[in-house]
Amino acid sequence: AQSVAQPEDQVNVAEGNPLTVKCTYSVSGNPYLFWYVQYPNRGLQFLLKYITGDNLVKGSYGFEAEFNKSQTSFHLKKPSALVSDSALYFCAVRLYNTDKLIFGTGTRLQVFP
């Protein structure tokens, strides 16, 4: 079955330090991968996507993600975290022959000053 896993419920990082939010997937066929962020009382906001091409994808607010086919991972990264990055982050996958997104359970990122 197609699935997305976010193994960490919460990630804590000090402001200015690099951050990583992990995501692994299990799908048949080529995956289209997405990261979304959810701030309190707000809708999900699109951050970045991997469709094809370079394995390192750059997105909004200085975030980037690396697609690793052999490890079936799509980890979200940022070189220097900000307190304002604190939010709930969701990884999602869309299969080549469908239009629906399958989401992970989310990872809460807490950046401490």
Partner 1 sequence: GAGVSQSPRYKVTKRGQDVALRCDPISGHVSLYWYRQALGQGPEFLTYFNYEAQQDKSGLPNDRFSAERPEGSISTLTIQRTEQRDSAMYRCASSSTGFSYEQYFGPGTRLTVT
Which residues of the shown chain bind partner 1 in the complex (CB under 8 A)?
Answer: 4, 32, 34, 36, 41-46, 49, 51, 90, 92, 94, 96, 98-106
User: Is the distance from CB of 9 to CB of 108 less than 8 angstroms?
Assistant: yes
CA separation for the pair 79, 62 (Å, rounded): 8
Query: Which of residues 4 and 87 has its CB atom nearest to partner 1 in the complex?
Result: 4
CA separation for the pair 65, 20 (Å, rounded): 9
CB of 14 to partner 1, least distance (A): 25
CB of 71 to partner 1, least distance (A): 21
> What is each CA distance from 34 to 16, 17, 109, 111, in whole angstroms?
25, 23, 17, 22
Query: Which of residues 32 and 75 has its CB atom nearest to partner 1 in the complex?
Result: 32
CB of 75 to partner 1, least distance (A): 17
